Copies of this chain bind each other. A is one copy, B any other.
Amino acid sequence: MEAWMRSTLKRCPLFRGLSNDRFDQISGLLSVGVHSFHAGSQVAFRGDAYEDLLIILSGYLNGEFRDYSGKVLKVETLHAPDTVASAVLFAPENVLPVDLVAVSDVDLISLSRRVVLTLFHKEEQILLNYLSDNGQKLTLLAEKLRFIQFSTIKEKIANYLLDLSKSQGTETPELRITKEKLAEVFGVTRPSLSRGFQQLCDAGVICQEGSLIRLLQRRELEFLVHKEEKQR
C-alpha cells in the first residue's frame, strides 16, 4: 500500500484510537484496489447492492435522494477518510438508501464484509468505532427528520437552541457540532444558517461568543417555535 493511502486510512474513523503499531499489524488485511471517479459522476445508485464497505481516500461525495421528477434532496456530505454507508453493509436488504455522487474527483477503496468482520475480531476498538459511526449516522438522520417539521431556518435554530439549553442545563449552551454539520442536519446551506444566526443576534435574541450561545430572550425563541404551530 502506498504511503499516502496508509496515512489516510490511519485517520479513518474506523481505525480511531489504534496505535501505529497496531494499525500496521492489521493494515495488511486492507485491499489496495482503488476505484476513481471524476467530479460530478455517479458513484452508485440508490437501490444498488452494497456488498463491500467503501472508504473515501481522497475527495468528497454527496449522499442524496433524487425523485422521478429530478428533484434532489441532499442527505449528507462525506469527506476523505470517511466510511460510506457503513450501517447498510450488514442490513438484511443491503442496498444503498441514497444515490452517491462525486462532488470532487474521488478515490475509494473497498473492504469485503468478511474482511470487516475479521477486523472486528482482531480488534474490539474497530468494532466499537464501527458501531459508534452507525449510531452517529442514525442520530443525525433522526434529527434531520425532526427538523423538517420546522419550516423556517429561524424556527429550526430556535428549537435547536432551546433543546441544547435543556440538555446542557444552562442558558449559555455550547454548540458541539460545526455549523457545517448543523446546516446539514437542518437541510439548509451554510450561508443561510449563518444569516439565521445573525438575524437572531441582531434582534438581541441570542448572542454568540465562540462556540457558546447566550440565550438572551428565551421567550422570543419559544414564540418562534409556537408561531409555526399556530399557522398550521
Q: Are B97 and A142 in contact (CB under 8 A)?
A: yes
Q: Are A139 and B68 in contact (CB under 8 A)?
A: no
Q: A68-B159, A68-B226, A144-B145 are in contact. List 17 more A-B contacts (CB 8 A).
A: A47-B163, A65-B146, A67-B146, A67-B229, A71-B229, A73-B149, A87-B139, A90-B128, A91-B138, A92-B135, A93-B139, A93-B176, A94-B135, A97-B143, A97-B146, A117-B124, A138-B141
Asked whether any CB of chain B lies closer than 8 Å to the CB of A162, the reply is yes
- Contact A138:B136 (CB < 8 A) given known A67-B149, A71-B149, A225-B67: no
Which residues of chain B come closer than 8 Å to A98, judged between CB atoms?
142
Asked whether any CB of chain B lies closer than 8 Å to the CB of A120, the reply is yes
Q: Render A116-145 as a binary contact track against B, CB cut-off 8 A, 1 for contact.
A: 010010001001100110111111011111
Interface size class, chain A: 35 or more
Which residues of chain B come closer than 8 Å to A142, judged between CB atoms?
75, 97-98, 141
A-B contact pairs, 24 of them (CB 8 A): A47-B163, A65-B145, A65-B146, A67-B146, A67-B229, A68-B222, A73-B145, A73-B149, A89-B135, A90-B128, A90-B131, A91-B135, A91-B138, A91-B139, A97-B139, A97-B143, A97-B146, A120-B120, A127-B127, A134-B134, A141-B142, A141-B145, A144-B145, A148-B148
